[in-house]
A = this chain, B = another copy of it.
Amino acid sequence: MTGRNATHDPARRSWVESANAEGTDFPIQNLPYGVYSEGGGPRRVGVAIGEMILNLTAAEAAGLLRPGEPPVFDGGTLNALMALGPDEWSRVRAAVADLLDAKAGPHADLVLLRQDAVRMHLPVYLRGFTDFYASKEHATNVGAMFRDPENALLPNWSHIPIGYNGRASTVVVSGTGIRRPLGQIKGPEDMAPRLAPTARLDLELELGTLVGTPSRMGQPVTVAQAQEMIFGFVLLNDWSARDVQLWEYQPLGPFQAKAFGTTIGPWIVTREALEPTRVPTPDRATPLLPYLREPTDCNYDIDLAIDLAPAGGAARTVSHSNARHLYYAPAQQLAHHAISGCAMETGDLLGSGTISGPTHDSCGSLLELTRNGREPLDLDGVRRGFLEDGDTVRLRGWCEGAVRIGFGTCEGTILPAPAPPV
């Protein structure tokens, strides 16, 4: 069996042996896209298969993908493919699967490299970055700590996928060091703010949605149209400086507390690969306005985990959540984003907001896991309220269905703050 309908077949196997191994994130049913370079060479588009990467730039140049069409894998990003739309995404995915199918076997024009022998880069030229706040549990937990425990969830939250524009210039790929930011900090007892390195550096466990098909300025889209505009998903860590955030965020929202860095995973898992994992959004007491209603299940059953390793220590899993907890699915976030006529562009990244589950050990930030630092985590004897220099955070994501569809990892290590500008 080959072709477009075969890409989810759990019985399908690849001639790349590591893709057939139990527990791999990257079986032939996944085929996530990334951008890599080898030994300082140019950036290539690749697809993960087991422990390997298939060079799609070379495969396309050899006429094995989209023969006779203008190339899309020669620009060092996925943007050209993303702009082609869902029919072409499906065709390319099916063609890549056929190249890697066990029935096909190796081919002289297919270049395979070990993933641990290359350097990964941002897979997309990111046009805009928006961060939502779409987990009810997270919004409730933060509202209780930052505002009022009695009215933790603001009245608009149940009606609007609340979001704000973030900063695209500091979205970096997994493995990039994150420098502890300077910022204005003012404690409740302080007479005036001071400029200092944040003392409450946090992580946020999120799912990032990548927009492929653009929309036009002045033209809203339905949730069904929004779903079709989505190319794929990445793991996303929205690093946050909680002390800076608390002092700056009123009335216009977070700014420098979030601007110093956002890490995304190297692999874009396509929407099509996740089709078998679709689930409905959670029950809601308040009906949504028609423009936000789900025509079909738009959430995804993606297990998520946070591993934290103190400098020199071993990593410990400190949280375990799931993307199905999102109260507003990615397509609902996107439909709301465009409701005013805001033009969405190829390469826009939409963070889901921290995905916290209903239990304490499924919270997606240290703010929640340590109750604002008051109950530090115990990492084999090392205590952590917030992140310290040298700490490494690793996010993981995977779907456990008939086959495992994984996201790989999204990592970052904290670097010391810079000197203040003088």
Residues of A within 8 A of B (CB): 127-128, 133, 143, 146-147, 154, 156, 159-160, 162-170, 172, 179, 181-184, 186, 192-195, 217-222, 225, 241, 244, 247-257, 259-261, 286, 289-291, 335-337, 339-345, 348, 415, 418, 420-422
Contact = CB atoms under 8 A, between A and B. Distances in A.
B156 A195 contact: no
Given A128-B168, A162-B248, A248-B162, A256 B335 contact: no
A218 B179 contact: yes
Contacts of A261: 217, 341
B220 A252 contact: no
Given A127-B169, A194-B289, A340 B260 contact: yes
Contact of A248 (B160, B168, B247, B343): B160
Contact of A154 (B184, B241, B250, B286): B250
A420 B291 contact: yes
Contacts of A257: 340
Counting chain B CB atoms within 10 Å of each CB, the highest count among A167, A251, A257, A420 belongs to A251
Identical subunits present: 2
Given A181-B340, A340-B182, A341-B260, A165 B162 contact: no
A271 to B, nearest CB: 20
A221 B172 contact: no
Contacts of A192: 159, 286
A226 to B, nearest CB: 9
B256 A253 contact: no
A140 B147 CA distance: 23
A415 B219 CA distance: 12
B421 A341 contact: no
B159 A184 contact: yes
A221 B418 CA distance: 11
